[in-house]
Amino acid sequence: MGTLARSGSLALFTESVMCLLSSPTAHGAMVDLVSLMGQTFPQAAPSLYVTAGGSKTQVYSVLDREQGGAEDARRVLNGRSCSYTAVSVGGRPPLIGRRMDLPITASSKAGVTLSINSGIHDGIFREWVKILTPAVAKLMDHEALLHMAYRDALTGLLNYRALEEMLKVEHDRASRYGTSFSLMMADIDHFKKINDTYGHQIGDVVLKSLAQRLAGCVRKSDRVFRYGGEEFSILLPHTGLAKAGKLAGRIRFEVEQTDFIAGLKITVSIGISEHREGLTPTGLVEQADRGLYLAKERGRNRVETMGGLV
């Protein structure tokens, strides 16, 4: 490699490492990295495969999912499920070619693999991976620590600590821009009876199943938390009380209609509050809690706001 070529490569490698270390999230870092690779070497059609903490593999690819991306994912992952993020680099997505896989890092915590169309750029990508390995390992270690700190171990949902942080962020945003958001508090009705009748293992299965159900009911912008015990909360950005009430009604109905395990059915009671000027994040939680208690008092399996029945 000539002096100019090596100088250009080093600048590129440095830029990519800075992408990884400056991004606030692993997701953003991987999107930026694939975008940089794809813009610099379009013919390489880079894809990153990221698995961390036993969660579903994340795929970041410049390949169109229907025109090579899904095929490459099946090959690399041996048919395992994944979440696919298409990274646009301008123009038409590149076509898939003869692929070469380059492991960047692999440990008990995380694994990251780069897949590219093999070509004259292979040598540069091999050197690139060597440079990236320490930065990627550091990023994934940081992400694993965040996951442990902000995730509930049983359900995998965000936890109470994460709710406190995100409520403050949402409150500050709403106060600054005059927008609104709502908060739901949901509690499983008669959960103690489930534990007493079927045992705590079945109770844990119900909690995990409900967590998946709640996560599947909301929008991508919404956030579901395990607040504690059998209580869950849902943060709804840019959502007023009326829309939050409709969503809560759908959640309540869907939970009621679901067979959670061996024909076991449950119901949930839900309380809702909406941000307004002068209401603190703590006050917002207290209002949603009052709505929840009101739903319990009025017979359970219902949705209540401070304004009345939804």
Identified catalytic residue from 15, 66, 127, 230: 230
Burial of 60 (0-12, 13-18, 19+ CB in 10 A): buried
State how beta strands 303-305 and 268-274 pair.
parallel
φ and ψ at residue 299, rounded to 5 degrees: 120, -5
* 151 in Cβ contact with 159 (< 8 Å): yes
For residues 212-247, one letter each, b for 16 or more C-beta atoms within 10 angstroms of the residue's C-beta and e for the rest, the string is: ebbbebbeeebbbbbbeebbbbbbbbbbebeebbeb
Secondary structure class of 49 (helix, strand, coil): strand
Cβ neighbours of residue 179 closer than 8 Å, sequence gap 6 or more: 173, 238
Tell me how far CA of residue 167 lies from CA of 86, 185, 197, 224, 274, in angstroms.
30, 13, 36, 12, 12
The whole-angstrom separation of Cα 294 and Cα 258 is 24
**Strands lying side by side in the sheet with 82-86:** 82-86, 57-61, 47-52, 110-117, 99-106
The answer to whether the beta carbons of residues 240 and 182 sit under 8 Å apart is yes
Q: State phi, psi for 108 to the nearest 5 degrees.
A: -65, -20
Q: Is 304 a catalytic residue?
A: no
The C-alpha torsion from 265 through 269 and 237 to 216, rounded to 10°, is: 0
Any idea what DSSP says for residue 178?
T
Provide the annotated active-site residues.
230
